[in-house]
Amino acid sequence: MRILATSRESLRAAGEHSFRLPSLSAHEAVALFSDRARAVDNRFALTDENIQIVAELCRRLDGIPLAIELAAARVNQLSPQALVEKLDDRFRILAHGERTARARQQTMGATIDWSYELLSAPERRVFERLSVFAGGCALAAATTVCGDEGVGEDDVLDLLSSLVDKSLVIVDLEGHDPRYRLIESFRQYAREKLAAHGEQDTIEHRHAVAYLELAKRLDQAFYDEQEVFFATVYLELDNWRAALHRTLIDRGDILLGQRLTGELNAVWGNVAPVEGRRWLVRALETVDERTLASVLAKLSYTESTIANTLCEHELTLASSRTAAARYRALGDRLGIARALCREGHALSEMGRVAETRLVLKEALSLARSVGNRWLVAMIPTIGIIHEGDLVAARVKGAEALECAKALGATLTVAWTTITLSGIESRAGNAELALRYTTDALATFRAFNDTRGVACALNNTAEYLISLARYSEAETRACEALDVAREHRWDGQIANALQKFAAIAALRPQRTAEPGPSGIRAGARILGFVDARLTAIMGAGPRDLDQQPEYDRIIGALRSALSAEALARLMAEGAALTEEQAVAEALV
C-alpha cells in the first residue's frame, strides 16, 4: 500500500520518503497569475508592456501559488504595477480568496496565522527574530541574534531545524555553511509579530552589532583570506544594508552606523564603491562631538578607498592625508601606514614620482615596524611602472609576487600579475603581457571580482591591439564595457571606450577615402573619454597606465585628420552622453 500525503512537515513514519515542493518557477508563476487574472477580468492579457511587471510581482511573492492567486484576484481593482507598489502592505492586499476555500486559505495572513499558532513559544521567538535578517543568514549570525536567556545558543540550531521541517524557514545547504532565510511574506508577518511583542528595537540592534563584528573580521580577511572575503560579501550585503538603514537613516544608533560604514572599507573598495559613497555621506552627516576620533580616522580612510577605486586621484590624495593626520594623532602606526600607502598611490597616478617615493618610504618603515607582511609585500610595487627603470620594476614586481604567493593572498597575486603585465607591455613584450593578464583574469572571474575582471579585460584588449589582433581586441573591449557598465566601474568604462577609439584609429581602414568614418568615430569616442576622465580625475594628468595608448591614438588621428577637424570631432564627443558614446563605439 502507498499513501500520498500533503502536510506542512514530514510525518516521520517508517518508510516515509519526503519531497519538499519548491515554489513555482518564473514561467509557471506568470502563467498562474495570468490564468487567475483572466478569471477575474476577461480583458486581462499579458503584453510586452506588463509582462516584466507581472514577473516582478510573482518574484516578490516568492512564487507561492496562494499568494499569486490572491494578488491576481485584485486585477479588477488594481493594475499589476499598483500591486507591486503595495506589496509592503501585502496582508491587506492578499486578503480576498475564494469563499469556498477553507478559512485559513482565504487570506495570506490567515494561512500564516494557522502555521504560527501551531508553533511552540521558543519556535515563535526564533521565527520572529529571523525577520531582522535580509537575504538570509549563517548559523553563527542566527545564533547570536536569535538566542538569549529564554532561547539558549545551543537551542537555536534545533529550533531552526524544527522551523525548516515545518516549512516556515528555508535552508540552503549548497555553500560551505548552511544559510537560513524566510520567504518575504513570512518575513513581513514575523516582523509585525516582533514589533507587537516589543522586541524589534532590541533585536535590530543586536543584528547591527553582529554585522559590525563581521565587517571587522572581513576587513582583515581581505588581506589574508580573500576567498572567504568575497564569498561572504556577496551573501551578506543585504544584511549590512539593512543594518545601515536602521542605524543611519532610521537613526536607531548613528554612532554604530558610523562605525559600520568605516569597517566596511574593504567591501566598498572592492565590491560597491558607488553605494559605499552614499552610506559614507550619510555617516559623515551624522558626525558630532560624540563621534570617536578613531571612527573619524577610519571614515577618512574609507573615503580615500572609495575615491581610489573610482580613480578620483585628487580626492584620494586629500582624504588619505586627512586619514594619516588623524591616525598620527591616535598613535595608530598601522593606520598611518595604510593611509600613506593610499597617498602614495594617488601621487604615483598623478605623476609626482619624487613625492611618491618619500611617502612610500615612511609607509614601508611603519609596515615593517608593525609586522604587516601584506603591506610590506605590496608597498614596493606602487608606482613602479611609472619610474622608468623597467629592469628594477621587474625585480620588485617579481619579489612582490612571491610574497603574495607565500601569504596565500590569491587575489593579491592576480593584481600583482596585472602590474607585471603593464611592465612587460611598456618593455614591448605584448605577448608576455597578454599571458600575465590572461592568468589574472581567470583568478578575478573565480573570485567574482568585477573590478578586476573589467581591468583585466581592458588590459587584454590593449595588448591585443598592440599585436594588431583587432577583432579579438574588440571582443574583449565589449566584454569589459558590459561588466564595467553593469557594476558602474566608471574608470573602466572610460578605459574600455578608449580601446574602441584605439581600434578605430589604428586598425587599417577598409577604404582609401580621406578621413573615413571609423577615424571620425574614434575621434568622437576619444573626446568623450577625455571629458569623462576629466570629470572623474579632475583637470590633472591622465592615468599614466593609459597614456602610451592615448598618445598612439592621438598620433594616428592627427595623421588622418586636420587639426581643425580633430578638435571639432573631439568636442562633439565630449558633448555625448554615455549611451551615445557606447552606441558610437558598437556600430
Q: Is 184 exposed, middle or buried (0-12, 13-18, 19+ CB in 10 A)?
A: middle
Per DSSP, the three-state class of 419 is helix
Give me the phi and psi of 138, to 5 degrees please.
-80, 165
pLDDT recorded at residue 100: 46
Q: What is the pLDDT of residues 97-122, one digit of tens each?
A: 554 444 454 467 778 888 899 999 99
User: What pairing do the DSSP bridges indicate for beta strands 137-138 and 179-181?
Assistant: antiparallel
pLDDT recorded at residue 500: 95
Which residues, in sequence order, are CB contacts of 398 under 8 Å at separation 6+? Answer: 420
In angstroms, the CA 267 to CA 249 distance is 20
pLDDT recorded at residue 62: 86
Which residues, in sequence order, are CB contacts of 482 under 8 Å at separation 6+? Answer: none
List the chain residues with pLDDT less than 50. 99-103, 105-106, 511-516
In angstroms, the CA 199 to CA 452 distance is 43
Q: What residue spans define the domains of the chain? A: 26-107, 475-537+544-587
pLDDT recorded at residue 119: 93
Question: Which amino acid, residue 514?
Answer: P
